Amino acid sequence: MRDLDEFTVTDETLSQMANTPNPRFKEIADAAVRHLHAFARDVNLTPEEWIQGIQFMTAVGQACTPLRQEFILLSDVLGLSAVVNALHDKKARELGSQSSLLGPFFREGVELTPAGTQIVEKPTVPEIVVYGKVTGNDGAPIPNALVQVWQTSERGHYDLQERNGESMDMRGTFLTDADGNYHFRTVRPLGYSIPMDGPVGAMVFAQKRHGMRPSHIHCLIGAEGHRELVTALYFGDDPYIDSDTVFGVSESLVVDSKEDPNSPIPGLRAVHYDFRLAKAAPGESGRVGADPTKLMKAAE
């Protein structure tokens, strides 16, 4: 274990970690060491660049607050969250609706309201209705599925940004009826820039990226015996629909609001989307993310 060079130090590190009792932790830590060492050799990492990297990660941690998760944002803009989502979808025992990013603006504890409730406190643009069915993969309706939705305002801000987390808006929690139907009123959200005033934003600027997400409504859907679905509906005519900074858009999640004779609220333009939930493996969740407040508490 003396006279190590940039190659042999990798084997030596792995051998010191060889007795890790938890096999999954060992697999992940071993791979992290192998890839990190290979990365440093690949780019011939200098001491200045290494310390810059450490400073960057320190700044990412320092930017985290109960209302802001800069590490999730970093994972998102590097495409890592999209990779984890895709891997997770591949494991589904049956095919359900496609998933998308939970993002850093999810909040728990939004009160349950009756179907048809307007989720925006003071809409200043025409209302729309979002409706559809929640079914299993066999098409059988799922009654009492919990449908949680959250979105930006018509100005492109989440409540955490407009109200500093002091009260909730543009969020709703609903239960499907006996036929698996849900519907709620909202307004069309505006596409928005991811938070660019922190270290992740500085990186995105340095890469000459626009930092925008196309207009979307987040949906988190859960039902007994089914895999929780984290997804979002994306408005197809948004200028950023094909260049989402965090790689969340899939063709099957693209929607449009239109006049619709079947709309549960006649007179309002409607977005119609049916969600399919896959059967659950025990203890399985589709969340690639968490309420930032909870992450902060867990870290204390």
Binding site for Fe ion (CB under 5 A): 103
Query: Applying CB under 6 A, does 194 fall inside the site for ligand BEZ?
Result: yes
Choose among 273, 263, 237, 230: nearest CA to 128. Answer: 263
Annotation marks residue 157 as catalytic = no
- Say which residues have a Cβ less than 8 Å from residue 182's Cβ, sequence separation at least 6: 115, 131, 132, 133, 134, 145, 147, 174, 175, 176
Choose among 107, 93, 153, 108: nearest CA to 127. Answer: 153
| Partner from Fe ion, ligand BEZ, none contacting 76, C-beta within 5 to 8 A by type | ligand BEZ
Query: Applying CB under 6 A, does 73 fall inside the site for ligand BEZ?
Result: yes
Annotation marks residue 218 as catalytic = yes
Annotation marks residue 37 as catalytic = no
| Partner from ligand BEZ, Fe ion, none contacting 104, C-beta within 5 to 8 A by type | ligand BEZ
Q: Which of 105, 184 has the CB closer to ligand BEZ?
A: 105
Query: Applying CB under 6 A, does 234 fall inside the site for ligand BEZ?
Result: no
Q: CB of 250: closest distance to ligand BEZ in angstroms? A: 14
Annotation marks residue 240 as catalytic = no
* Other Cβ atoms closer than 10 A to 29: 15
Query: Applying CB under 6 A, does 214 fall inside the site for ligand BEZ?
Result: no
Q: Which of 101, 280 has the CB closer to ligand BEZ?
A: 101
Residue with tokens 């698996």, as numbered in its chain: 180
Find the catalytic residue in 171, 188, 213, 276: 213
Q: CB of 284: closest distance to ligand BEZ in angstroms? A: 22
Find the catalytic residue in 107, 157, 171, 218: 218
Q: CB of 105: closest distance to Fe ion in angstroms? A: 6
Query: Applying CB under 6 A, does 253 fall inside the site for ligand BEZ?
Result: no
Q: Give the span between the Cα atoms of 61 and 70, in whole angstroms.
A: 7
Dihedral angle computed from the Cα positions of residues 70, 87, 294 and 106, in that order, rounded to the nearest 10 degrees: 70
Pairing relation of β-strands 146-151 and 127-136? Answer: unpaired
Q: CB of 216: closest distance to Fe ion in angstroms? A: 6
Annotation marks residue 158 as catalytic = yes
Residues 37 to 66: which contact ligand BEZ by CB under 6 A? Answer: none
Q: Give the span between the Cα atoms of 84 and 154, in whole angstroms.
A: 30
Q: Which of 158, 182 has the CB closer to ligand BEZ?
A: 158
Burial 158-197 (b: 16+ CB within 10 A, else e): bbbbbeebeebbbbbbbbbeeebbbbbbbbbbbbbbbbbe
SS3 45: coil
Query: Applying CB under 6 A, does 101 fall inside the site for ligand BEZ?
Result: yes
DSSP letter, residue 162: H
Choose among 277, 284, 288: nearest CA to 248. Answer: 288
| Partner from Fe ion, ligand BEZ, none contacting 101, C-beta within 5 to 8 A by type | ligand BEZ
Q: Which of 80, 190 has the CB closer to Fe ion?
A: 190
Query: Applying CB under 6 A, does 76 fall inside the site for ligand BEZ?
Result: yes
What sign has the CA pseudo-torsion 215, 221, 226, 227?
A: positive
Structure tokens at 23: 């096999």
Residues, the chain: 300
Residue with tokens 């409504």, as numbered in its chain: 217
Query: Applying CB under 6 A, does 247 fall inside the site for ligand BEZ?
Result: no
Find the catalytic residue in 188, 216, 226, 227: 216
Site residues (vs ligand BEZ, CB under 6 A): 73, 76, 101, 103-105, 194, 213, 246
So which residues are the catalytic ones?
Answer: 158, 192, 213, 216, 218
